[in-house]
Structure 1
Amino acid sequence: MSRWIVILLLMCGLQLQAQQRPTLKNGLENFVTANTIYPMYALDNCIQGTIEVAFKINKEGKVTYATVSRGVGADLDAEALRLIKLTSGKWIVPSGYDTTTLVRSPMKFSLKDYGCEGMNPASMGLSIRNYTEQIGSLNKIANFYRNREQAIENFVGEDNIIALKSELGIDDDYLNRKIKIAERKISQGDLQSACEDFKFVKYMGSTKADQLLAKYCK
């Protein structure tokens, strides 16, 4: 068999393999651009970058498994995962597709017109490192109010929790932003993620989302 025939067969095989992959109408990149709701910490700290999500799709085009395989280390990772889950049921799957295949897709997130163009990469790296510490503080606050709701004794005084909230900037404006983000997620059909945001507001010691929790998160 000549070398050119072998090359031609390989090219045909690669083309056939590409044709057998699931596709998303208008492409994943356009879907991400149209549906991204930039998370608050990443937005406030000019965190950008490319995140890779690995996922599986069944014959009905639904996402059956998804995980961040390479992230940036902040709440932007969760948004990338949310977007992939939001594509569930929208994939066109060719006949004979192997549903055990793990699809890996890079997703690029960038901020324009937010004053982040001159952001020092070192500053972004510091913000990413500080994210883990902030999550620990938020969990401490949430645990306090969750324990109080369940009549479990807290060994930290509420004055300390209020001071911690003030230090983190958890005020009415912050919580209102969180609620607006959740309402946008509802408009996208993402009730699960929206309810997580409403619960977050509740366990920051606020009643601002209580009516929305009762309405959407029974």
Structure 2
Amino acid sequence: MTLSFQLNAQQPTLKNGLEAFVKVSTIYPIYAKENCIEGSVEVAFKINKKGEITYAGVTKGIGADLDDEALRLIKLTSGKWTVPVGYDTTFLIRAPMKFSLEDYGCEKINPASVGLAIKQYNDNLVSLKKITDFYKNLAQGVANVVEEEKIVALKEEMGIDDAYLTRKIAIAERKISQGDLQSACEDLKFVKYMGATKADKLLAKYCN
């Protein structure tokens, strides 16, 4: 995987540089990796005088889970920047990140199939909401249990099985080791709201 950045001169600096930080911190998202989704994501962000990220947003995305990872990585740098005296904290820094998969068999993938995968990712968001809503309601005792068979079939159709959820937990554990509890807890809650109890111990330990 390679990433590239362009930052304006005389801006806050990160020890060893932003590119190096991201290279060692990136956790390539499951969907993007499985579907050979690559490309550039531009994140714009602001830094205060303490080197903390006060704002961050994707200004040019791919449309899949790589957008979330790019944003997560920028937020992960919060508090690690060295800010020059007199720096204008209202200035918006733009960091284009180029994500690519190497030695993963993606070299011969048809670009059209990647485009379809990105469209499918966004279509899947609707199905994921149906699943999470069902299990949230089930936990509160207000779900229609007759619908559970359809929900299980929907999960199977999307490939959300035990192995997938185990990978999701492994990613959450890596994020915990990076000190990124917010994103880790989102992954662990995802597992919970897919109707599984595999992440319950980690949720109790790290996510209040």
In which range does the TM-score fall when normalised by the shorter chain? over 0.9
Alpha-carbon distance, 1:25 to partner: 1.2
Q: Does 1:120 align with 2:110?
A: yes
Secondary structure of 2:74 counterpart: helix
Residue-by-residue CA offset, 1:12-35 (whole Å, 9 max, x unaligned): xxxxx823x111111111111111
Structure 1: 5+ residue stretches without partners: 1-16
Q: Please, which of 3, 8, 19 is the counterpart of residue 29 of structure 1?
A: 19
Residue-by-residue CA offset, 1:85-112 (whole Å, 9 max, x unaligned): 0000011100000001111110111101
Q: Please tell me the residue identity of whatever aligns with 1:160.
A: K
Answer yes or no: is the 8 Å Cα contact 1:32–1:107 preserved in 2: no
Q: Does 1:61 align with 2:51?
A: yes
Structure that is richer in helix per residue? 1
Counterpart of 2:79 in structure 1 is 89
Counterpart of 2:5 in structure 1 is none
Mapping for residues 67-106 of structure 1, pairs under 5 Å? 67-106=57-96
Structure 2: 5+ residue stretches without partners: 1-7
**Distance (whole Å) between structure 2 residues aligned to residue 135 and residue 18 of structure 1:** 39
Secondary structure of 1:95 counterpart: coil
**Distance (whole Å) between structure 1 residues aligned to residue 130 and residue 144 of structure 2:** 11
Q: TM-score, normalised by structure 2?
A: 0.94
Residue-by-residue CA offset, 1:153-196 (whole Å, 9 max, x unaligned): 44861000011011111111000000000000001000110000
Q: Percent identity?
A: 70
Q: TM-score, normalised by structure 1?
A: 0.89
**Distance (whole Å) between structure 2 residues aligned to residue 141 and residue 175 of structure 1:** 14
Counterpart of 1:8 in structure 2 is none
Counterpart of 2:174 in structure 1 is 184
Taking a change above 3 Å as real, the CA distance of residues 156 and 140 of structure 1, as seen in their structure-2 partners, is: farther
Question: Would you say how many aligned residue pairs link Structure 1 and Structure 2?
Answer: 201
Residue-by-residue CA offset, 1:102-159 (whole Å, 9 max, x unaligned): 1111011110111111121111111101111111111110110001112234486100
Post-superposition, which runs of at least 4 consecutive aligned residues in structure 1 deviate over 4 A? Answer: none
Taking a change above 3 Å as real, the CA distance of residues 153 and 171 of structure 1, as seen in their structure-2 partners, is: closer
**Distance (whole Å) between structure 1 residues aligned to residue 107 and residue 178 of structure 2:** 29
Counterpart of 2:122 in structure 1 is 132
Counterpart of 2:152 in structure 1 is 162
Counterpart of 1:5 in structure 2 is none
Secondary structure of 2:96 counterpart: strand
Q: Please tell me the residue identity of whatever aligns with 2:9.
A: A
Secondary structure of 1:213 counterpart: helix
**Distance (whole Å) between structure 2 residues aligned to residue 205 and residue 165 of structure 1:** 10
